[in-house]
Every structure is written in C-alpha cells, then in structure tokens.
Structure 1
Amino acid sequence: MKNLYFLVFLIFAKWGYSQDIAFTASAPEVVELGQQFRLIYTINAQADKFSAPAIDAFSVLAGPSTSQSSNVSIINGKVTQAFELRYTYVVQANKEGEFTIPPAEVTVDKKVYKSNTVKIEVVKGAARQDRSVTSTAGINQAQRTPDQTEISNSDLYIKIFVSKTKVHREQHLIATIKLYSRLTITRLENAKLPAFQGFITEELEVPPLTSLNRERINDQVYLTGVLKKYILYPQKTGEITIDPFEMDVYYQKPNNRRSRSMFDDFFGSVDSEGRKVISNSVTVNVSDLPANKPFNFSGAVGKIKMSASIDNSNVKTNDAVNLKIKISGSGNLKYINPLKIEFPADFDVYDPKISDNIKYSEDGAFGNKTFEYLMIPRHAGEFTIPAFTFSYFDTETDQYKTDKAGPFNIHVAKSEGDTALTVSSAFTKEDLRFLGQDIRFIKQKDINLKKSNQFLFGSKVFYLIYAASILAFIILFLFRKKKMKENANVMLVKNKKANKFARKRLKQAFAYMKQEQRESFYEELVKALWGYLSDKLGIPVANLSQDNARSEMLSKKVDEEYINQMLNIIDRCEYARYAPVTEETKMDTLYNDAIKVISKLQQKLK
C-alpha cells in the first residue's frame, strides 16, 4: 500500500507543479532592536535552485534551513496533491528604522520565480531596567513593590474603539474591544462586558486568541489581540456612553527574590500575577434622522431594496395565494417590521411568515428578510392588491428613499362545489336512510278505529301555538336580517368583537409568559393591542400607526391619558424585544397594564 501511494505521488508530482506556482516571503512587520525572528520563504513546488537576497540590515544567525511537506488524497477517484517547501532564516535586528528585504529567487523547471518583498520596521526595545531605576529614584529598595519596579499601566491595558463617534439613530457602528500587552499573557478570566445601554447589539465572530499580533505604538512594540467585536444600532438620540470593559488578566512576571541556588540563576525565576484591567469608556453622539420622513417610514436605515411578487394571479375560491415581499441589502434588516398593505376585504389574510438570511461583518449586516402573506379568496371576482411602498433612510446619501411594488391583479374563479353563495337541496346520507319509510306497508287485517274525543285543530292550544310560531318566525327573520346587515359591514363586526379577539390574544400572551418565552410574549401582546385598536377604530392593521391611532381616538373623545397609556405599552413591548429587561418591561407588568388599558378603552370606544 505504501508503494502504491509513492507511485501515485510520482505520477502526479509533475502535474502538481504545472499548476499555479506561489512563492512568498513572510516575517514580522514590527520587531524590537536586538530581537531575533524568522524570515521564511515558501513555495508550493519542488525547486531546483534557491537564491537568497542580500539581508544587509540584519544579522543572519542561521539558515537557510529547508523543510518540506506533501499530501496526496484520492476522493471519489479524484486525486489532489498539496506540496510545500520552506527556506527559513533566523535573523536579528541590529539598528532602528524601516527596512525592505528584496525578493528571493527560485528556479522550477528552468523557470525563475520571484517572491514578494518584505518590509520590517525596527523600533527601540523597552529598557525595563533603566525605566525601573528612573521611575524609582529616591525610593528605598526595601519599600519597592513589584508593581513599582516593573509593571506599569502602559505595559498592559484594554481599549474600546468605535468605528464612528457621530451617527444617525439606527445607523450601525462597530465597537472593538482590544487587548494591548508588553507582557507574556498566561490566561484571561472574569470578563465583564459593557451593558451597551441605548443600543441593539449583534456580536461578531473574532479569531481565538491563540496568538497575538505585533503592533508599534509610541515607539514601543505591543502584542495585541481583539477580545470582542460588536455591531451597534443606537436606539435613542443624544450622547450615549459605552461603559468600560473589565477583565482579569494573568501574566508572567520575573520576581525579585534573592537566588537560593545556582539553578535559579540559570533558569530564571518567574511568578504568575494577575490584575483587573478596566478599559476606557466611549461616548457616541447620535443625531435623529431628518424631519422630512415619508408617511410610511418605520425606521429602516441602510442601503436597502424592496421587491414583491405573487405566486399565482389566476385562482379559484378557497385556493391559497402567496404574496412574497423581500427586503435586501445592508442595514438594520433584522429589525424591519412587516409593511402596511391593503388587502381585498374578501380575502382571508394570515399573519406573515417571516424569515431572514442575514450575515454580519465589520461593514454591518447584509442579506435579506422575507415576509410571506398567505391569502385565501372566499368569493369569485376580480381583485387588486393596491401598490404599496417601502421607505428607508439611505446612509450613503443621507436621504430618504422609497421603493414601490404592485399593484397585483388577481382573478378568482368560482371553484366546483363552492357553496358560499348558493343553497344546496341535495339529499344527505341521513335523508336517504329514511327515504324508504315515506310509504308504509298497507295492512290487510281489520283494524279498530276509535273516534277521538277532542281534536287539536280549532282549539285554543292550536291557535296559541300558531300565533307563537308566527311570532317566532318574525323574530328569527328580523334577527337574521340584522345579522346579515352587520356581516355586510365588516368594520361593525370587528368593532363588536374587538374585545373578544383581544382577550383571546392576551390569553395566548399569558401562556407565553408562564413558559418564559419572552420574545413570543412581547410579540403576541403587541398584536393584541394593535389588533384591538384596528378593530375599534376601523383602520386595517397594515395602515395603522401611532399617529393616526392617536388622532382617531382623540376624535372619538378618548381621554389623552388612556391614549398615552396604550401607546406607551406598545413602545415598551417593542423596546423589550431587543433590550435588557427593566422594571417597566417585565412581562407581568406589561400584561397587567395591557388588561387595564383595554378595559378603560372599552368603555370609551363603543
């Protein structure tokens, strides 16, 4: 088996080399004066000859040492080969400045390839001993602590950066929490994240801190690493302060104890020490969006587009039709709510199915969010879903923009067996069972006939039953006519049943509260409140907003106190879905407040 792999390797080796050849050079970007480091040249082919460049600015301590690795895999009959050859130098920085190492050359199959150049900056190293003497001058040796003699705040700190300090409300910014150290870090513990009050947050993935990068800061070389990174969406205007980040950082620290043996002097003596490191706080200035907001603007911010389609424009009664609305682009896509759409009154429309495919990066959130409405037409005819619009604030142009979709025309034909507007006189199985009993068997024997002493017909009881039947028919007819009239007025029906529907949704919200399903609870509670207002005010939910709800309730002489209570509960629910829980946004508090305000409005909106 080994011989087989070796044979495969030999057969495909030349084929592998005929592929794109990559020859690269790598080294640290910043090093300290006197520091030793590796300069590595890597090629993905077997080289015939390697020519190193002149490295005058550095001392070559060792090299070039060569190493190579290869891997051949056969998967489903497909052979792939990976090969890598390395030339490694160990060099030392001898003087400060910025230096460029020229390209190296390598020959493969009589063809010469050149590597990239390497730029290295050499900075002055930190002279710990000298700094200790200077900073502790005049201090008695016995009084010195390890912190006073060796470690300063500039040797180890954490800093919070934001990509922007001035943004609009709902415009994203990136917050980065970064560690800086001139010490050897051993472990990190007990991280305390900022609360990010006033922001909606999405955490970004960062590479694990298995190794740190070198950076030059104020002529000093630091090991740096990103601890956390977040996308922030400000939810209020004004100055918002991001609290400091806290973490316990442990590091190696040479001790100052007197050497007790020759081995201490030879190996050195190192202690591990930790300290709580607290970062800076950051203030972000958040301005409100411009005042000329479109009437249907609901808070979407970014570079966004809207499209819509229906899956079938020719259907029969009781067949399903799907309206699909897709919001795509970059911005606060996750927090975009369903659009306001006016559906035909003869359609049963269900709450939209919401799905999203959103990815997060330093450029913000990008992807798409989809709303799918299931519609079922109950009557035949020609129907139209009017054109609707979606408005958003474009952060590139600092302007509001509006996308339009529709109108959508739908032809609904009457389906077979549709009894919505007809009355069927067909026999049922129950009728057929007794059909043979209409004509009874004629008895041939003599029968005894008896004369009845009293007939019901013509009696007082007969006329009483007759009058009662006529009266019951009239009452039933009037009641039926009234119900038909009410059913024709959909708004009146919804008005009368508003409290019933609201109680039903509140019951479901209560169930979610008992199950500790926070997001479902807040969503159901908001639906109950908006649904109640929609039914009572005669405004479709799709067209309902806080402004027109307020004006409509004021026109119906509803106390402004009750109006503010209702709209405040809705705001608290919306805020609680994406923000930490406070006393005002606890589920039981909001639930009780919702019941109270609906009871008060029920007395006013009759």
Structure 2
Amino acid sequence: MKRSFLLPLAFFHLLLVPCLVNADISVTMKLDRKEATPLDSIRMIVNVSGTRSSDSQPILNALESFSVTQGGTSSRLEIINGKINAGIDYTYFIQPKKTGTFRIGPAEVTVEGRIFRSNTVTLTIAEQPQSPGVDRGPLFLSAGLSPTKVYAEEQAIYTLKLYLQTKVSDISLDLPEIDHITFKQLGKPIEYKSLYNSKTYQVLEVRYALMPSRQGNYTIGPARMRLTVFQPRRRSRRSLFDDPFFSFSSGKPTTLASQPLELKVSPLPKEQRPAGFSGLVGTFQMKSKLEPSEIKAGESATLTVVLSGRGNVNRIPDLKFPELNHIKVYADQPVLQIEPDDKGIEGSKTMKWALVPEREGLYEIPPLTVSFFDTKNHQYRVIKTSPLAISVLPGEEKQVRASAAIGRGNAVEGSSKQAVKELGRDILPVHTSINDLGTGFLVRPGGLFFWVATLAPVLVYALAFCRIRFRRKSVSMLAETKAKKAARTFVKKCRHGEPPSSHLAAAISEYLNERFGLTLGSLTPDEAVEILRSRGVSLDTAHRFRAVLRKLEDAVYTGKGHESCDIGEDIARLIKQIEKEIR
C-alpha cells in the first residue's frame, strides 16, 4: 500500500521539478539501415535523453544530398529500477538524391541555452540494377519511352507506371527537368490490374508527350514520385487491441524513382527542304470549302480552311490569302484547338475569310499551300487546298433605283391610295371627351398624402437595405480584415532584406493561421496543399507552395535555418497569387 502511494508521488515530484531529469543530457542519431539505394526511404531518429523538452527542433548537418521529411515527435518517461529517465524522439525520413558514401551529422539540440551534439553515422547509397526476372517488391515505379529515336520537334510518348500491392495516398510527381525538352500530360491517369513476374499489381499509369526542340543525345533522368505508404501494425502477442477496430495502419512517407532512359534526337534534313518551310513536324492534312458558291454582287461568301494533324500543332501557321481583283477579303480570327489523347497531341486550326465580290462574273479561288516534314515517310511534303470557284450574279441595281425615285417624291405607276376600312371596335370604350371621365378620388400633386405615398416605400426599402448590409458587415468585417491583414503582414516581412529560412517558415505558418482562422502549430507541406486546395487555389499554385515549404524545411533541418534566404520576393509573389485564387 505504501509503495503504491509513493509511485504517484514520484510522478508528481517529477512534474514539479523537471530540472532533476536534466542532469545528464545526451543526443544520439540512429538510422534504420547502413546501406540503401536511391529508391529507398531511410528512417532517421534523433534521440534526446535526460529532458522532456528542447528549445527548438534539432539542426541536422551534412544532409545536402538528401531530401528530408519530418516524421513526427514523441516524448517518453521511463522508470527502471527506481531510476527516472525522460527523453524526446525526433523522427525523420531521408531520401537520397545521388549515389555514394555519406557521413551524416552531427545533430545539434539546444536545451536551456546549451547546445548538445550527437554522433555521426555513415550511409552508403548504391545503384541496384533491376531486371525483368528480379522481384521488385510490393511498390515500384517504371518508365518507358516510345520511340527512342526521333527528329527535332517530333513527339515521343513518355509513360510512367506505378505498380503497387499496398495502400498509398498523397501522391505527387516530379518529372525530370531537361534543357530543350518539354512534357505535356496526355489525359488523366488510368488505373488497371496487371501481372509482373507472375504477381498481380494494381497499376496507375500516366502518359506524357515528350517534345525535343534541338538535336542531340539526351538522358531522361529518373522521375520521382512522393507518396505515403500504409503498412499494417504488427503485434507480438494477442491483446485487447487485436480487435479489428484498433487494427489501423501507420503511414510512412516514401519516394520512388524510375529508371533513366536514353533519347536520340536527329536534325531535320536540309536536302529538299521547301522554300518557306513552316516548321511543322508530324502528319497533317488540309480541307477547304466555300459557302455559298453562287451569290449576287455585293453579297458575301465564306471560305473555310481547316489544317489538322498530329505533331507540333502549336506551330500551325496562319495562312495568308492572296489579293484578288474586284473581290474584297476580310479575314476572321483563326481558332486553334489542341486535343491530347493516349497516342500524343493532335489539333487543328480553323481559318475563315469573308469574300465580297464587287462585280458579276466567275472568279477562281487560288489554292492555299503549307509544307511540313512527314515523320512517317521521313520526307518533306507540300499540301494544298482543292480548287474552288465562285459565281457572281448581277446585284439588285434596278430595285435600288426605284426605291430612290420614290424617296424623291416621283409617282410610280400602279400606286394609288386606298380608303381606310373599319375592321372592328375595341372591347373597351374609347372616350372622345374629357367629360366622359368621372370625378373619383384624386391625389393632388404637392399634397401631404402625395409625398407620403411617394417617399414612404423608398424610405422603407433604404432602411431595410442598410440594416441587412450592416448586419452582414458586422459579422464578416472582422474576419475579412484579419485575413487581408495577414497577407500584407507576410509581404512586409519578406521585403525586409533577406530573412532567414526559419523566420520565413514561421511567417508562412502564421500567415496560414491568420488567413484561414486556424490554430495549427507545425505544418507539413502536404497539409498546406490540402488547406489551399480546399479554399479553391489551383493545383499548380498549391504545388509551387509545397515546393517552397520543402525548400525551407530542408534548410531548417540541415542547419541552414539561420542563414539568409533569397527567395523572399518569390514567396511574396506566390502569396499574392494565392490571394487572387482564394474563393
């Protein structure tokens, strides 16, 4: 009984006198493995013993070659053989950016103004070549390119496939950045089941049109996919918590990378290149029509030309219509339509001209031509519209002259006045004298009743309108003022020189809390994306905001949080863009 009483007393004493636990403070850094590949996510734990709190987050040194994601913080309190020990565990997940042997650390932790340093750890990152016969596990990313040899401005299909046998969420993709090569997504990602090495996988596939602008040999680097992987918790023995209600999964941030690919880009041949080459590369065709083909002088006909095909359709030129004698030509604004599909990018440009002949006769419409490089036949081609003609009849000259004669007052044969006939009477009587009207109740202008009846509805409406506006403003004015002030405050902080990364990260968290009425402490990049997307911010702007947060996060965790940061102006412009998109 006495021992059971002393145990709560010990806990109470521990809470009141925390300095007793701070007598012997140490910091230890641990990795869950010593060797890994660029496709692996390594768990790193910074263990602080002897205290239950620190002045700030640990500073992680020598992590420039890794992407760092915070995994969470947990505190502990242990009593072993009557000895009390307290500590904090900071969990991180690091993703290697390149191969090699790296010495990581030390981690620096500040407690009550004193800095404590951890040990250093060594991690080796080596490439692990994959072959079709090798088991690649329950989760991997594969890339494909077709064809691998193209001409400049010819499109190739870049396909990414995520093979998975486990539950994932929060998927984001970073495509390789290569000079003179652009990526255009082809439709939405598709999902299906497939077999790989006799195993069934759920496959998420997304395709891109890859367009090189210059010749050369290119290496398409790995595409990186960030996602959260859920793994069931394992228990060593059965307990009350083995009930399915408590059998939830824990999420682990993971980054996957695809294999690099090679692309050879050949220049367009100079031989037999037509004069005035348009720059189009692919397969194209042209159609034309003239409506109507027979009109009168002074009327208009419409010539429509549609140039369509598959290739670099954004370079379809605006065709020039030649000048014609006795025909006025009015060009309409061309309309370009681009429609990506699973085979690449196709599109069309519709061009229209209004033709107004001034004289009668038969006019031939000269054909319009355009040149392009045919990637299927590996040669230049010139296509033209079909020959068209327009027949012009005499205009309405006689009728115009007759109308003019009438306007001058000249008589026209056959014209005569007709007597007015009464076709019927109105249902209501038509009063021909003011005496027919009775003397009823009159509201005389200028009297009291006149002004009351006239102004009362206006005054009632104005009072009701002002009351409603005042009530709405009184409720929302405070929130709107606070939200607008948050953006202005943040922009001012960014423009005061080059603030440190840690100050910018804290300012962003403060901005989000003030702007959206939140009370968040720490904020992960993925949580920030969810907040912005729920407020109507576009996906591209939200991803740019996440990239900025990750850059600041890497700087803080790698010990550069106190150094000045040169992206303050970029963040300020990004915040202004977010303010425009918020609904």
Establish whether TM, by shorter chain, passes 0.5. no
* TM-score, normalised via structure 2 length: 0.40
* TM-score, normalised via structure 1 length: 0.38
Identify the structure with bigger relative contact order (alpha carbons < 8 Å, sequence gap 6+): 2
